Structure 1
Amino acid sequence: MKKLCLILTVFIFSQSFAQKTEFLKIRKYRVNDLDEKLKETSGLSLLNGKLYTFNDSGNTPELFEIDKKSGEIINTIKINGKNTDWEALTNDGNNFYIGDFGNNGGTRKHLEIYKVPFENDLLKGDSIKLISFEYPEQKEFVPRYMQTDFDAEAMIYLDGKLHLFTKEWGAKSTTHYIIDPEISDKQKARKTEVYKTGFVVTDAAYFNKKLYLVGYTKKTEVFLDVFNETEPGVFFKEAPRHYYLGSSLSVSQIEGIAADETGIYISGEKFHSPLGGAKQSLFFIPKDKLKD
């Protein structure tokens, strides 16, 4: 009887998983390995048809333009700043916004975003602005490594504001915060909505009224959620399309996503574990492979 109950439980779980999750194995959409210089790539952004990325905590403060068809580095752009823990990259068409707000331990009190003017493939280094913020809901800053809900690695620019999506290790949710890039003083991020993803969100992209969130679980499962923008700047009123993309063991640790009219680009940093690993990689999924 117990065995029958177990079989029924597994069957019901698998049926539920199949009904809620669509399978989009990105391994077959792999473009190439990324250069060894990008083994800790974190974040992607498309500006004027060109694809950019950078490395995360402790690495040099540089942006890399990479070839969309080969993943090779085309150009390296030095930033006059410090890479404490760069995790997210977006732009407004004229400026890059670099999210230096990685906070896996939950102890950081100085969360910052670099606003970097960028025109004609050149930085305006003398005009870099620092945007500082805090989470008003965070009252304690005791170390809770990979347990804190006040971490973030995902950011988009929309309607004159920066929209952050948290990486909640404990709750396995994401909270949508809004930051005003025109405020010079330290500001409180404004909480707007929450969604239970079931995975930690590692990057975000926005295109044509759709929000794309990627991330993974501790079991190395990689997921993509695609939300419709139901109202200006509101995404979580409807359930998203939920895609299973594969395992980090075969597709790397997914840390970046960017979208345009052709499809979505996804990048992952080098991943290794006792069970195996994968090299840093770039993927491209054509638009017709994603359902509307």
Structure 2
Amino acid sequence: MSCSSAKPVDDNPEVVKPPVEEGFVSEIGPMFDYAPESSGIVLSDGYIFTINDSGNSSVFYKVNPVDGSLVQSISVTNYDNKDWEDITDDSNYIYIGDFGNNSGKRTDLRVLKISKSQFINNTASTVSVSAEAIEFSYSEQTSFISSSTHNFDCESLISKEDNLYLFTKNRGDNKTRAYKLSKEPGQYSLTTLASYEINGLVTGGDYNAQTNELVLIGYAASMHTNSFVYMFSNFTDDSFFSADVTKKVIGNASSNWQTEAIAFGSTDGENLFISCESTGFSIATLYKTDKTTLGL
């Protein structure tokens, strides 16, 4: 979710995109009309799926990856959007991370599990589906008093084999923690697997099974400046941070874009999609890039 309550100043705010000018990413198309606060993306069955975060309806969107146009709106009928922050998938399910926790006081964290069979063969422009809930808490969290410097916010979710993994957005120490979560609906208490000195706020991530790579995106703690991408490779099992690590800064203090999500765009792990949400300086946009361009 946003670090601030900044919204577009009008329906056509000035778009400032220095990262495009610098050649790091190429614009695919705007998402402002349907996902002004795009907070997660995943490439699934040939389409991009995206979500909005808190304050928006419980709908996820099927998007054409070529031009960013909306293909289908999929409404989750049995759960509200408390603060949806990332989306991932496996062969049979979509998973939506309803775990945004800006102030650190939420006690209803969950991942929604949605069977693809409910919508994958439906060509209607709007579809309704139901979800199951995978509920969890952080075993280390003992205080639920509102704070701006806690370590229990999360905006990144990946699927790896039989489990889900969360990567936190630590507002207190600017690290990220990795947590392992079952894909089976139920209630779970999570314990940290490991932490990494990310020196910023992680806002999204994805995992590529073919190349065994983890990618995380985020920005410096000073709002949405200095956007970065981290690539973790050559790790074993879920020892993500005992890996080869490459970092690329894809924005700077004048960029005024808020990078919220990243997804692998090909099975070989070369291509990447990135989305940003609307702010007072730019509109929600879907971008593409690749590891070669970023030097990852």
Q: CA deviation at 1:251?
A: 6.0
User: Which of these residues, 69, 91, 94, is aligned with residue 93 of structure 1?
Assistant: 91
Contact 1:177–1:192 (8 Å) recurs in 2: yes
1:289 maps to which residue? 293
Residues 38, 248 of structure 1: alpha-carbon distance in 2 compared, 3 angstrom cutoff: farther
Alignment of 1:68 with 2:69, yes or no, is no
Q: CA deviation at 1:31?
A: 1.9
CA distance in structure 2 between the partners assigned to 1:246 and 1:107 by the alignment: 31
Q: CA deviation at 1:168?
A: 0.2
Contact 2:220–2:226 (8 Å) recurs in 1: yes
Contact 2:170–2:201 (8 Å) recurs in 1: yes
Q: Give TM-score scaled by structure 2 length.
A: 0.83
Alignment of 1:227 with 2:236, yes or no, is no
User: Which of these residues, 150, 163, 172, is aligned with residue 148 of structure 1?
Assistant: 150
For residues 1-40 of structure 1, what are the alpha-carbon distances to aligned partners after superposition, in whole Å with 9 as ceiling and x for unaligned?
xxxxxxxxxxxxxxxxxxxxxxx95664222222332111
Corresponding letter in the other structure for 1:280: A
Q: CA deviation at 1:190?
A: 3.1
2:11 maps to which residue? none
| RMSD over aligned Cα atoms | 2.0
Larger relative contact order (CA 8 Å, sep ≥ 6):
2
Q: Give TM-score scaled by structure 1 length.
A: 0.84
Question: Secondary structure of the equivalent of 1:288?
Answer: helix
Question: Secondary structure of the equivalent of 2:255?
Answer: helix
1:192 maps to which residue? 193
Contact 1:35–1:73 (8 Å) recurs in 2: no
For residues 36-63 of structure 1, what are the alpha-carbon distances to aligned partners after superposition, in whole Å with 9 as ceiling and x for unaligned?
3211111001111211001100201111
Question: Secondary structure of the equivalent of 2:250?
Answer: strand
Q: Tell me which moved more, 240-249 or 67-76.
A: 240-249
For residues 63-101 of structure 1, what are the alpha-carbon distances to aligned partners after superposition, in whole Å with 9 as ceiling and x for unaligned?
111121211111111112200100010011210111111
CA distance in structure 2 between the partners assigned to 1:264 and 1:91 by the alignment: 16
CA distance in structure 1 between the partners assigned to 2:29 and 2:185 by the alignment: 40
Q: Where is the helix percentage greater, Structure 1 or Structure 2?
A: 1
2:15 maps to which residue? none
For residues 134-171 of structure 1, what are the alpha-carbon distances to aligned partners after superposition, in whole Å with 9 as ceiling and x for unaligned?
000000011003x2100000000102001000000111
Question: Secondary structure of the equivalent of 2:292?
Answer: helix
Name the larger-Rg structure: 1
